[in-house]
Amino acid sequence: MKKTMLSLAMVLASGLLFAQKKTTTSAVISFDATTPIDALPKAENKTVIASLDTKSGTMAFEAAIKSFAFSNPKIQEHFNDKGWMDSDQFAAATFKGSIVNLKEVKFNKDGTYAVSVAGDLTMHGVTKPVTAKGSITVSGKVIVATSEFSVKLEDYKVEGKAIAAGKVAKEPTIKVVAEF
């Protein structure tokens, strides 16, 4: 009886541990808004906060806008200006959503699983529903989530002169890598 109780407790404890929300403070989000006439508008933020709940499939990201690092100081300045991301007013971009096909992902079995994630992306003070394809790679205790998608800047009311002039892509590509 005692052995059964102990086994049951261990199973429950391991289940609870595995169901814990996993977080990282070093997820990477990069975006590429380059165009044929300007190769500079691309940047990377390596200090994004992300969470993944392996039980419910919910995912969340928080990216500080000022943490996007450009190679060119002028472009970085423009990016944070009112004409583009206005980072003083809208300090972060966030995503809250969940894995649509969670049943197809075996978090306790090594492998790479194709996923579809749906949720709300808030950027520049505007929240819009988004759906993105990606993958979840399970390798022992490490889970890596990746996705690549694009957003229409006009949907988020990002409408600077550089965009109108064709120096910044109207639909930048966004790549997300989060290791939990």
Applying CB under 8 A, the residues found at the interface with another protein are 23-28, 40, 46-47, 49-51, 60, 62, 64, 66-67, 69, 71-74, 87, 91-92, 94, 177, 179
Shortest reach from residue 102's CB to another protein, in Å: 19
Shortest reach from residue 9's CB to another protein, in Å: 29
C-alpha dist (Å) from residue 19 to 12, 54, 125? 10, 6, 32
**Exposed / middle / buried, residue 65 (Cβ in 10 Å: 0-12, 13-18, 19+):** buried
Shortest reach from residue 116's CB to another protein, in Å: 22
Which one, 21 or 106, has the nearer CB to another protein?
21
What is the C-alpha separation between 40 and 136, in angstroms, rounded? 30
Which one, 8 or 130, has the nearer CB to another protein?
130
Shortest reach from residue 3's CB to another protein, in Å: 39
Which one, 47 or 98, has the nearer CB to another protein?
47
Q: Where do we find the tokens 């959503």?
A: 97
Which one, 20 or 71, has the nearer CB to another protein?
71
Q: What is the CA radius of gyration of the chain?
A: 19
Backbone angles phi, psi at 82, to 5 degrees: -60, -30
Of how many residues is the chain composed? 180
